[in-house]
């Protein structure tokens, strides 16, 4: 039996308010939901080579029933599709299919598709509406919410991007059943991050995830955390949104150093979280018992807590120097005083970062 869908609002300045709908088997009705939010009749669904064969037809049928014509553009699955050349390809396919400023984009897939399709929507005809239909844990708890879109440069992750809030997020949790085990597990790194910065008690719930019933409520709780942070600091100008980068400064550099093939996003973030815990204890005496709780949650989902020597500390540090968070030779780093109490600091030194990486060798 399905529970009723959960609705969460993201309250930004109009017209950027939107609803996140989380529930089981809600893809079948996505056309009607979209039609309630947008009065446009032509869209492009952007998806990847794993997700499109599973869900694109269902979405297209639902759109058709709601009187919306759709085209499908599919890119290869994986982080390497998050590139400017794919944005160009998508935009040109949209032009060829007759799309214009009266069209909208549906991102159907995980965080890679959300970020890529979101950036395409933000630049196509100087910006057309975006609907997010996230199909991974990472994208349902985090990336589909908040309007950060972007692609990678060879120099680093997400260096080219734009803010482009979606008009609606439809997170059908039944889609998570087709995720391979590794991709399912990696998603919990972002939920563990949310627990670390906002809700330490949620670590217990994460440790007790069983089947779909409490997974839905856990996803909703995470979506709510993300929504509230975004409401407080939409453009990451005040510091609150930067707290979401806990574990990401080093994690992103590890992901890039691995060449976007070695680690899934959440796996690199797992390593980044262990490093950030060490830095937190150096900076703010973050209690080791709390650090262990984070580490145990990562281990529960088979997330890596050790980094192979073939990815050198120097390569990670070099990548970090090109990071957006690196300003005037100083890194803006998020560290914890305790679970739920993060602080943004520019006092973290390169030596401390090297030491933190030594702890995961
Ligand atoms: P992903 O999009 O690559 O998806 C992981 C894999 O699962 C892919 O192979 C995909 O094809 C497959 N897949 C997706 N849904 C599936 C399903 N339902 N069934 C079967 N297979 C499925 O990766 P991800 O972990 O979802 O997202 C990671 C990306 O998100 C990174 O690029 C990261 O930078 C980005 N991100 C962005 C934000 C943001 O705020 N914009 C936040 C967090 C992460
Ligand atoms: N994932 C970080 C952010 O949305 O700000």
Residuewise pLDDT in 10s, the chain (361 residues): 567 999 999 999 988 999 999 999 999 999 999 999 999 999 999 999 999 999 999 999 999 999 999 999 999 999 999 999 999 999 999 999 999 999 999 999 999 999 999 999 999 999 999 999 999 999 999 999 999 999 999 888 899 999 999 999 999 999 999 999 999 999 999 999 999 999 999 999 999 987 666 899 999 999 999 999 999 999 999 999 999 999 999 999 999 999 878 899 999 999 999 999 999 999 999 999 999 999 999 999 999 999 999 999 999 999 988 776 666 667 889 999 999 999 999 999 999 999 999 999 9
Our answer to whether residue 190 is catalytic in this structure is yes
b (16+ CB within 10 A) / e for 312-343: ebeebbebbeebbbbeeeebbbbbbeebebbe
For ligand 1, atom 37, the nearest C-alpha belongs to: 143
Residue/partner pairs of 159-163 with CB below 8 Å, 24 or more apart: 159/322, 159/324, 160/84, 160/119, 161/115, 161/119, 162/118, 162/119, 162/122, 162/123, 163/122, 163/234, 163/235
- What is the 143 CA–ligand 2 centroid distance (Å)? 7
* Catalytic residue (choose from 86, 194, 241, 243): 241
- Strand partners of residue 345: 333
> What pLDDT score was predicted for residue 260?
79
In degrees rounded to 5, what are phi and psi of residue 164? -150, 100
> What pLDDT score was predicted for residue 142?
96
- What is the 139 CA–ligand 1 centroid distance (Å)? 6
> What pLDDT score was predicted for residue 3?
75
Name the pairing type of β-strands 148-153 and 326-327. unpaired
For residue 206, the Cα-to-chain-centroid distance in whole angstroms is 18
Query: Strand runs (DSSP E) across 208-345, as ranges?
Result: 326-327, 330-331, 333-338, 341-345
Tokens of 287: 């209690």
In degrees rounded to 5, what are phi and psi of residue 285? 55, 40
> How far apart, in Å, do the first and last CA atoms of the chain sit?
46
> What pLDDT score was predicted for residue 322?
75
- Spell out the domains of the chain, with CATH numbers in brackets: 6-179 (3.40.50.1970), 190-358 (1.20.1090.10)
**Angle at CA 69, nearest 5°, toward 68 and 75?**
120
Q: Who lines ligand 1 at CB under 6 A?
A: 48, 50-51, 54, 77-79, 82, 109-113, 115, 135-136, 138-139, 142-143, 146, 148, 157-158, 175, 178-179, 183, 186, 190, 264-266
Q: How many CB atoms lie within 10 A of CB 188?
A: 26
- Strand partners of residue 104: 43
Our answer to whether residue 332 is catalytic in this structure is no
For residue 288, the Cα-to-chain-centroid distance in whole angstroms is 28
């Amino acid at each position: 039996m399905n529970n009723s869908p959960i609705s969460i609002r993201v309250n930004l300045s109009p017209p950027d308010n939107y609803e996140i709908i989380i529930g089981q088997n809600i893809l079948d009705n996505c056309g009607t939901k979209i039609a309630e939010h947008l009065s446009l009749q032509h869209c492009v669904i952007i998806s990847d080579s794993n997700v499109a064969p599973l869900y694109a037809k269902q979405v297209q049928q639902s759109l058709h029933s709601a009187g919306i014509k759709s085209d499908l553009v599919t890119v290869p699955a994986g982080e390497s599709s998050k590139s400017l050349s794919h944005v160009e390809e998508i935009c040109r396919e949209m032009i060829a299919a007759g799309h214009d400023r009266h069209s909208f984009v549906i991102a159907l897939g995980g965080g890679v598709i959300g970020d890529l399709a979101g950036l395409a929507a933000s630049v196509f005809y100087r910006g057309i509406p975006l609907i997010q239909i996230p199909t991974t844990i990472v994208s349902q708890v985090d990336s589909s919410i908040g309007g950060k879109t972007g692609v990678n440069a060879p120099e680093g992750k997400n260096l080219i991007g734009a803010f482009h809030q979606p008009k609606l997020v439809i997170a059908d949790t039944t889609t998570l059943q087709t995720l391979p085990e590794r991709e399912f597990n990696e998603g919990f790194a972002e939920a563990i991050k949310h627990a670390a910065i906002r809700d330490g008690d949620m670590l217990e719930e994460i440790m007790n995830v069983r089947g779909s019933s409490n997974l839905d409520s856990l996803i909703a709780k995470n979506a709510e955390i993300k929504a509230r942070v975004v409401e407080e600091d939409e453009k990451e100008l005040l510091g609150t949104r930067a707290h979401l980068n806990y574990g990401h400064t080093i994690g992103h550099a590890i992901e890039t150093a691995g060449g976007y093939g070695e680690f899934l996003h959440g796996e690199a973030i797992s390593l980044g979280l262990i490093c950030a815990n060490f830095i937190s204890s150096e900076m703010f005496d973050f209690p080791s018992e709390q650090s262990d709780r984070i580490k145990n949650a990562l281990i529960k989902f088979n997330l890596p807590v050790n980094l192979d020597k073939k990815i050198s500390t120097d390569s990670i540090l070099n990548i970090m120097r090109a990071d957006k968070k690196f300003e005037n030779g100083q890194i803006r780093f998020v560290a914890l005083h305790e679970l739920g109490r993060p602080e943004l600091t520019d006092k973290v030194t390169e030596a401390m970062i090297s030491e933190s990486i030594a702890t995961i060798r």
